[in-house]
Homo-oligomer: A and B are copies of this chain.
Amino acid sequence: MEREPTRVMVAVNESTIKGKPHPSISSKRAFEWTLEKMVRSNASDFKILLLHVHVVDEDGFDEVDSIYASPDDFKDMRESNKSKGLHLLEFFVNKCHEFGVSCEAWIKKGDPKDVICQEVSRVRPDLLVLGSRGLGRFQKVFVGTVSGFCVKHAECPVLTIKRNADETPSDLADD
């Protein structure tokens, strides 16, 4: 009897810590937990759906050190943002490939919490997996939380996975 695999959507994002484009601590941890503790050696029973929501930075803070002298500079910026997102997905798709589990990955633009819930409604996964910074009430007021919103509003079961204590950066809002 061939059964449909359990379709697990994992929302992934980039680290806020400056440097090379690399996955956030919490999304990397959530992804790795999913493979090690849930998929385990039963790769054919699962399919991983990787969603990256690209946040359109209306204030342009990411670009304050850049110089814009021609229309091409903006084109370069857009290309660079796009390749950052692709680089991120490539990281996770490679990991799935090494693990032997099938996957699909795609990028959407917008506010992560809204877009994640919209994509859940559209794609209908069996499960949504989210990394969480595990912020307290006071910190949340300023930075908001995607996981808290999605636990309430996503139309499927939601698994939230906090960072390990030894991976937590000195600024808790960083990830």
Q: Report A115 CB to chain B, min CB distance, Å.
A: 20
A37/B158 in contact, CB under 8 A: no
> How many monomers of this chain does the complex have?
2
With A158-B160, A162-B157 as contacts: A40 and B37 at CB distance below 8 Å: no
In the complex, what residues of B have CB within 8 A of residue A3's CB? 40-41
A148 to B149, CA, bound (A): 11
Q: How far is the CA of A66 from the CA of B158 in the complex (A)?
A: 41
For A42, the chain B residues whose CB sits under 8 A away are: 40, 42, 45
Residues from 116 to 154 in A contacting B, C-beta threshold 8 Å: 126-127, 134, 147-148, 151-152
Known: A41-B45, A127-B37. A157 touches B157 (CB 8 A): no
Tell yes or no: A101 within 8 A of B by CB: no
With CB as the reference atom, state the residue of chain B lying closest to A158: B160
A41–B2 Cα gap in the complex (Å)? 11
Report the Cα distance A126→B32, complex, angstroms.
13
Partner of A158, one of B40, B127, B159: B159
